[in-house]
Each structure stands twice: as structure tokens, then as C-alpha cells.
A and B are shown apart, each in its own frame.
Chain A
């Protein structure tokens, strides 16, 4: 009997050891060309002032299908140092999708924006928009989605508690009202972000928007690098875009880059 137990234990140890060893080996192999390796190489190039080389290293991580907030933040910094403010703002916007509450990111983003002459939509914003930005503006889309799920879960649990543990109706109703208000606010923000997700772009170089999608068309308005625009549609290398002040015009597609297309 004791022999049988000993054999079983030995077999388990063997399996665990083999799994751990193979995992470690695979991890070491992956680390050699992993995202962190390119990230460190990019950082070293940045510190040496080789900003273009740093961007090349960072881009390799993206090419592997991996992204992160600090990665886009560093790419934005490298572009900024190269004097490409539009590209820098584009990557700060991308970073904000992952780390919206990062102080360095917000400071750099604001500073880069201050160097451009973008149309300022902040003026005249409604009270609701200010409240919305204050409450949900600093969350990522995933955080908002999880918050919505947790609110639903809480509402369901509160309902069951009210039934099983005979909570006072008033308490349950108040809980539901508060949750409902937050739910609507988060849902409104979520819908807005999902709608704009694939349409928001950043102007990467100063350009002119024209009345028609051709080079000889009359200029409608000027677009400054770093300006956020909404892409309405695309026709043969031209994009119809809408500026923050709701003016719409045509611009060559190469002069803008979508925030969510890496």
C-alpha cells in the first residue's frame, strides 16, 4: 500500500517538473524576441537620442499584435522629439485608450496640443458634458464595460436580497434609482465611444480640407496637425472628415491616421 502511494506521488512530481521546465524554457525562448525586449531596445535608443530607431523597435511590438499604454506613450514621446507633433498627439490619444489616468501622459498630451492650433471644442460645453467627462471621462472602454456589468450584477443581487431577506422596499428602490442613473450615464458614454471608435482620426500634417475630393478643388478650411477629426466616408484615396466645429471637407487619406488602427 505504501509503495503504491509513493509511486503515485513520484508520478505527480514528475509531471509537474516536466511542465514547469518546459514552460520556463518556452518563456525564455519567447523573451529573447518578446515585446519587452523590443521595448527595452526602444527605450535605449530613445535615451541615446535615436528617436527614429526607437520608433522602429516599438513598431516591432505592434507588428507582433501586442499593444500597451506605455508603448504608445513612448512612441508619442519619440515623435514629439522628432518634431512630428501630429504623430505624437496621435500616439498619446492611443495611449489614453489604455492608461487614461496617467499623469505624465496627460501632461505631455496637453503640452503637445498647446503647440498646435487645433479647433477648441471645450468652450461652450454643456453642463451634462462636463459632468459626464468628470465621472466617466477617465475610464477606459473596458473599465466602463466592466462597470456596466457590475452595475447589472449589483442590481440583480439587490433584487434577490430584497426578495429573500425582505429588504425594505424604499431601500431597494433607492439603490435601483442610484444604480440606474449611473448605468444610464455609463451606457451613454459607452455608446458614444463605440460609435466613434472606428471613425476618429488625427491629422498628422498640416493640410487643407477641400470642397470636393480632388486636388484642384477650392479650399474649405485649414486643418492643423494634431487636430482630431471624424471620418465620415472614404472615396479613392480621399476622406470626408468633420472637424470639431462640425465643418466637413475632403482631405487626402494619407494625411490622417485612425486612432484605433495601429
Chain B
């Protein structure tokens, strides 16, 4: 019993049985289909059994063997063939990257894994599959490949490939033709871009044709061509027609893309190169049929060949040569004043109706211009250029539309008095390329019968000067702007913008300063309320100033005792507040300690001591001192307080 299980990309697809188990040639197709469905039901069971076998039997076929195979050696240009690199007895291999091969392009499809269990012997092989696309006719060779597996180097054999012209047939041994004549894929599929001539006028209509030519190849999903068109306006491509044509004895399928371009400026301009994308279909290797296995033999050859052909799709971008143009300015000689900008051949038609209207009733003016020029760049005849239109008619902005090769204008005009008898002639000027000169076409004048209004119907048209005419207001045309403003309003100077006014920025800065001041005041007040030490130190100089003022009065009156009392109390209170100590504990000893603690000058202690001793002498010993001594004590006290205020705030 022999079972082969085939996996592709790790997913189960189908299975094969041993050929000798089912003599299929002896059975009908229906019988085989029935049998095939039975086999599918057994598949799960067999797979489980095979994996059980894998776990139960420890016999492995470990021999490594590398083989390169192709499904055919002779292939037509435009067909693809299959190349496989089969590696037996190894696992976990990375796909092999093929080197560049002359005359062929390759594309990796993916790996497939085959596991076989034969009489309890397990073996596994991996195949790397590639699609190979011939790009020219001739004899080529897939070179020998060297593959490194588990430290050993294995080498495949080289494979000769013969690419023949599909027109010559694969059975023709001379299919690739004359060895001296190299036929490539570029000879069998290409695009060409062309124009009838290379010299045109600015805004002239230039026909452009881009042809895709394909010889004996299959293509799909053909995209519209694209090309660089700096300096040109391009019309969109219509649906391209396709046809067959024999050129120089070769039959081509041709897709013809036609469009028109209009040069916007004069000079040497270049169009293209054009690029066109499509999918090339390479005839495949019929893997689908072979995967059916035992049923494949029925369809191997015969009438179903073409029907069951498979194709490999490959995206290609084709590129043409570019197209140079010389673009000329239009001649200034003979250029009409009302030249419309049209270049080409045009005709125009004018219609105005109705023929009879009352004063103020609208007339509809219709102008159509048709021709083969650039309609987008063409200016339609305007009422402003019509002689006599401004005096006799009021008119509104026209509606201009473009449909196909026709540009049309529709405009409402209102006769302003019953004296109007006709609508003046309209003319249209363009440059006729065929005649190489400017042409002016003229239509009209057109007779119009304007009937006066009844007295009770007379209304004034908005915008008319008094006495200029009385016409009926048409409701549809009643939209207009509001009347002017009678008041000048607030007048500004040229520097009316506030953000450019320095005064406003000053105001903002002042506001910030005010806010900062208020905030600082609040913070100080709060600290005074909560921090007694801070409050006392803050108040010390103020109290000192008051005390010194009082002492000065006693000094001036020469009242010694009161003077020294006041001076002593001032200093005592000052030091008590400054150092945040009780007034009673202010004496020389404590002051000396505090001065040292605060790193102040030692000489200061002596001066304080001197003043204090002077005070004590007069206050307690009742010794008389002269006024100069008092003044000296006062000055010393002032200097001490001043020193503390400057050095220790």
C-alpha cells in the first residue's frame, strides 16, 4: 500500500493514490468520479493514519537529493513554462533566488511539499516553483545552480531552453527563425505616439494618436496612456477602437487612442513620452489539469487544449518616444479688435426672441459657436462689443455652456424704450488655420418690435437714471444690492487699528502694574497680620523716627533728663523690635551677643555702649552734661539706627 499526500503552502489540496491500485483506464468517467468522492471521504482517515505512522515508525529516509526540472524545453515567445527545484530529504529551507538568465525572466510562485510513506518509510521533499517568461527568441540555458544544504553544497544540472516564434509553430525546428535576426518581446508589443505635423499655432487643435501594437500575444486590462504635457491642455481620451492590421507582413492587433491637445504658449515644446500599462498573459503550464492526478490523462492532449489553457499574468509598462513641436504665435497683421481667441475653423449662429415684446420684457439672446478649435480658450461675443447695445438695451451676465464641440451663450437683454426697432448685428472673429488668416463672421441685425407699456404698468428699472426710460420690473431679475448708507459713521484715521497703537500697550502694562501693586500690598498686609517678628521689624524704624523726633525737641529745649530718657527708650524699643525680644531684656550684654550672632562690626558695640552709658549717667547719677555732649549722643543714636537700617533690614 502506498499513499502520497501533497501539500501546497502548508494547505491540503488533493491526493494521489498508487497507480496500480486503480486500473482507471478500464473504468468509465462516472465510475471514477464516484470512486473519487469515496476517496475524499477516506482522506481524513488516511491522513490521520499516515501521521500516526510518522509517530510510530522511526525509520527516515535522510538522503538529500537536489533536482532541477522544467515542464518543457521548447516554448513559444509569449508562453510561460514551469521551472522547479526539487529537494528531497531536507526541511526548513529558504526559497532559492534565481540568477539573471539571458532571454528569460523568472517569477517565484511558491513552495510545495510532498510527504510519502512507503512501507512504513517516511520521506519528504520540497519543491520551489518558478514561472519562466521568455523575452526573446533563441536558444538559452538555465544555468547550473549551487545550493548549500546543512553545510554541503549540491549542484543541479543546466537545462537548455529553446524559445520559438509562435507564428512558426512549436513543432517547427526552425521556429525561432533566422539566427541572425533577434526577435524580442519589445518587437511584439509596443506603443507609438504620433501627430500629422510638428508645426502649429498657439491654441491650435493638435490631433494626437497613441497606438498599442500587439503581435500574437495576449494582453488584458489595458490602461489609458499617460504623457507629460507641460505647455499643453489635453482633452480626455474616448474609448479606443481596436482592429487588426498587417504591417510589413506582420499581423498586429492594434488599440488606437485618439485625443486632441492645445498648446498654451509658443516655442519649442515636447509632448510625451507616452506610457501605457497593461497585463501580458503568458500561456501557462496546465498545472491545474495535472493536479487532478489520475483524471488528467483524459485531457492531456486533444480538442480541450485551448479551452483549458491557463495563463500567467505579468504587469508591463510600455513607453513610446517623445514628440517635439514648434508652436508659433498668431500673426499680428490683420488681427481684428474683437478677436475671440479661437484658432481653427468655426461657424456661429445667433437667435434672438421673441420678435415682439413690451418695454421691459426680456429678450433671450442665444449664440452658438461650433468648430474644431479650442473652445475653452474662446471668448464668446459680448454685449459690450455690440455697437448700440449699451444705449438701447439693459443686459445681464450671460450663461455660457459647452457641450461637445459646441459652445453656447444665453443672455437676457431688455429693450429700454419702444423706439428700439432692431437688435444690432453680432460678429465673431477667429483665426482660420486652413486659410492662414483671420476671419470675421457677421449675423444680424435682427428686427424686434417693442410695444409701449400701459400707464398703470409703468415701473422704473433699478439702476436707471431719471427719465431714461420706464420699464416693467421682471420678478426673476429683481435681485439687486441694497441702497447706499446716508451716514458716514464713525471716521477713523489711517492708524485705526488698536493693536498698532502704542498707547493701548501702555494701558495694558499699567493695568499689570496696578494688579501687581495690589497683590504685593495684600501679601505684605497678610504677613504683617500673621508674622509678629516681621511686623515688629517693619515698624522698628518708624517708631525710632518718632522717638528721635521727641528727643530732638528735648535737646533743643536743653532738658537733659527728659532728653536722655527719650533717647534711651527710643534705642531700647528699636532694638526690641529689631531683634524681636522683650524691651526689658535690652541691655549692653544682650545687644553685644546679638551683634555677634548677626556678624556685625565689633566697633558698633562700643558706640552703643557709649550712648547707653551716657543715658545711665544722666538718668540715674543726675550728672550735668553740656549741650554739645547731648548733641553728640543724639548723633550717635541716629548713626546707630541708620547703620542697622542700612546693613540689616
Chain A positions within 8 Å of B, measured between CB atoms, are 35-36, 39, 43, 46, 48-49, 65-71, 73-74, 77-78, 80-81, 98-99, 104, 107-108, 111-112, 115, 141-142, 145-146, 149, 152-153, 156, 159-160, 163-164, 190, 194, 197, 216-219, 262
Q: Give a binary string over B250-287; 1 marks a CB under 8 Å from any A CB, 0 the rest.
A: 00000000000000111100000000000000000000
Do A160 and B463 have beta carbons less than 8 Å apart? no
Do B489 and A141 have beta carbons less than 8 Å apart? no
Contact among B464, B493, B504, B522 for A163, CB-based, below 8 A: B522
The stretch among B1-9, B76-84, B511-519 that forms the contact with chain A is B511-519
Contact among B482, B486, B494, B508 for A149, CB-based, below 8 A: B508
B479 contact set on A, CB distance < 8 A? 111
B488 contact set on A, CB distance < 8 A? 35-36, 39, 68, 70-71
Contact among A35, A48, A145, A218 for B265, CB-based, below 8 A: A218
Chain A residue with the shortest CB-CB distance to B263: A218
Q: State the CA gap A48–B464 with chains docked (Å).
A: 9
Do B231 and A218 have beta carbons less than 8 Å apart? yes
Interface status of B303 (Cβ within 8 A of chain A): no
Further contacts, 14 of them, CB under 8 A, given A111-B479, A142-B498 = A65-B493, A65-B494, A66-B491, A66-B493, A69-B490, A70-B488, A70-B489, A111-B480, A111-B481, A141-B499, A142-B496, A149-B504, A156-B511, A160-B519
Interface status of B455 (Cβ within 8 A of chain A): no
Chain A residue with the shortest CB-CB distance to B265: A216
A-B contact pairs, 26 of them (CB 8 A): A35-B491, A49-B463, A49-B465, A66-B491, A67-B492, A68-B488, A68-B489, A70-B488, A70-B489, A71-B489, A77-B481, A80-B481, A81-B481, A99-B489, A142-B498, A145-B498, A145-B499, A149-B507, A153-B511, A156-B515, A159-B515, A160-B515, A160-B519, A197-B497, A219-B264, A262-B494
Q: State the CA gap A133–B570 with chains docked (Å).
A: 70
B267 contact set on A, CB distance < 8 A? 216
Do A115 and B481 have beta carbons less than 8 Å apart? no
Chain B positions within 8 Å of A, measured between CB atoms, are 230-231, 264-267, 397, 463-465, 479-494, 496-499, 504, 507-508, 511-512, 515, 518-519, 522
A36 contact set on B, CB distance < 8 A? 488
B499 contact set on A, CB distance < 8 A? 141-142, 145, 190, 194
A67 contact set on B, CB distance < 8 A? 491-494, 496
Chain A residue with the shortest CB-CB distance to B485: A70
Q: A70-B489, A107-B482, A160-B519 are in contact. Are A217 and B496 (CB under 8 A)?
A: no
A46 contact set on B, CB distance < 8 A? 484
Q: State the CA gap A65–B491 with chains docked (Å).
A: 10
Q: State the CA gap A145–B499 with chains docked (Å).
A: 7
Q: How far is the CB of A165 from chain B (nearest CB, A)?
A: 11
Do A218 and B264 have beta carbons less than 8 Å apart? yes
Q: How far is the CB of A189 from chain B (nearest CB, A)?
A: 12
Do B497 and A142 have beta carbons less than 8 Å apart? yes
Q: How far is the CB of B203 from chain A (nearest CB, A)?
A: 12
Q: How many A-B contacts if CB must be within 8 Å?
A: 105
Q: How far is the CB of A230 from chain B (nearest CB, A)?
A: 19
Q: Which of B479, B488, B497 has the most CB of A within 10 A?
A: B488
Do A163 and B508 have beta carbons less than 8 Å apart? no
Do B481 and A112 have beta carbons less than 8 Å apart? yes
Q: State the CA gap A145–B505 with chains docked (Å).
A: 11
A190 contact set on B, CB distance < 8 A? 499
Contact among B264, B482, B489 for A104, CB-based, below 8 A: B482
Do B507 and A163 have beta carbons less than 8 Å apart? no
Contact among A43, A68, A77 for B491, CB-based, below 8 A: A68
Q: How far is the CB of B533 from chain A (nearest CB, A)?
A: 23
Do A48 and B484 have beta carbons less than 8 Å apart? no
Do A115 and B397 have beta carbons less than 8 Å apart? yes
Q: State the CA gap A107–B480 with chains docked (Å).
A: 10
B397 contact set on A, CB distance < 8 A? 115
Q: How far is the CB of A103 from chain B (nearest CB, A)?
A: 8
Q: How far is the CB of A244 from chain B (nearest CB, A)?
A: 22
A163 contact set on B, CB distance < 8 A? 519, 522
Q: How far is the CB of A142 from chain B (nearest CB, A)?
A: 4
Do A68 and B482 have beta carbons less than 8 Å apart? no
Q: How far is the CB of A113 from chain B (nearest CB, A)?
A: 12
Chain A residue with the shortest CB-CB distance to B499: A145
Contact among B264, B483, B486, B518 for A160, CB-based, below 8 A: B518
Q: State the CA gap A70–B512 with chains docked (Å).
A: 37
Chain A residue with the shortest CB-CB distance to B463: A81
B508 contact set on A, CB distance < 8 A? 149, 152
Do B265 and A217 have beta carbons less than 8 Å apart? yes
A152 contact set on B, CB distance < 8 A? 508, 511
Q: State the CA gap A152–B483 with chains docked (Å).
A: 41
Q: How far is the CB of A120 from chain B (nearest CB, A)?
A: 18
Chain B residue with the shortest CB-CB distance to A50: B465
Q: A160-B522, A216-B267 are in contact. Are A70 and B487 (CB under 8 A)?
A: yes
Chain A residue with the shortest CB-CB distance to B384: A83
A69 contact set on B, CB distance < 8 A? 489-490
Q: How far is the CB of B65 from chain A (nearest CB, A)?
A: 65
Q: How far is the CB of A104 from chain B (nearest CB, A)?
A: 4
Q: A68-B491, A160-B519 are in contact. Are A74 and B265 (CB under 8 A)?
A: no
Q: State the CA gap A111–B480 with chains docked (Å).
A: 8
A108 contact set on B, CB distance < 8 A? 481-482
Q: State the CA gap A33–B490 with chains docked (Å).
A: 17
Q: State the CA gap A82–B613 with chains docked (Å).
A: 104
Q: How far is the CB of B423 from chain A (nearest CB, A)?
A: 20
Q: How far is the CB of B419 from chain A (nearest CB, A)?
A: 20
Chain A residue with the shortest CB-CB distance to B468: A49
Q: State the CA gap A141–B507 with chains docked (Å).
A: 18
Q: State the CA gap A98–B487 with chains docked (Å).
A: 14
Q: State the CA gap A38–B480 with chains docked (Å).
A: 25
Q: How far is the CB of B399 from chain A (nearest CB, A)?
A: 12
Q: How far is the CB of A222 from chain B (nearest CB, A)?
A: 10
Chain A residue with the shortest CB-CB distance to B229: A218
Do A43 and B519 have beta carbons less than 8 Å apart? no
Do B484 and A141 have beta carbons less than 8 Å apart? no
Q: State the CA gap A31–B573 with chains docked (Å).
A: 74
Do B231 and A74 have beta carbons less than 8 Å apart? no
Q: How far is the CB of B461 from chain A (nearest CB, A)?
A: 11
Chain B residue with the shortest CB-CB distance to A62: B494
A197 contact set on B, CB distance < 8 A? 497
Chain A residue with the shortest CB-CB distance to B479: A111
Which are the 3 A-B pairs with shortest beta-carbon distances? A70-B485, A49-B465, A104-B482
Contact among A68, A194, A218 for B492, CB-based, below 8 A: A68
Q: How far is the CB of B20 from chain A (nearest CB, A)?
A: 74
Do B522 and A164 have beta carbons less than 8 Å apart? yes
Q: State the CA gap A99–B492 with chains docked (Å).
A: 12
B482 contact set on A, CB distance < 8 A? 77, 104, 107-108
B465 contact set on A, CB distance < 8 A? 48-49
Q: State the CA gap A156–B214 with chains docked (Å).
A: 83
A156 contact set on B, CB distance < 8 A? 511-512, 515
Chain A residue with the shortest CB-CB distance to B267: A216
Chain B residue with the shortest CB-CB distance to A107: B482
Q: State the CA gap A218–B230 with chains docked (Å).
A: 7
Q: State the CA gap A162–B491 with chains docked (Å).
A: 41
A107 contact set on B, CB distance < 8 A? 481-482
Q: State the CA gap A80–B463 with chains docked (Å).
A: 11
A216 contact set on B, CB distance < 8 A? 265-267
Q: State the CA gap A81–B484 with chains docked (Å).
A: 11
Q: State the CA gap A74–B486 with chains docked (Å).
A: 9
Chain A residue with the shortest CB-CB distance to B508: A149
Chain B residue with the shortest CB-CB distance to A106: B482
Q: How far is the CB of B56 from chain A (nearest CB, A)?
A: 70
A262 contact set on B, CB distance < 8 A? 494
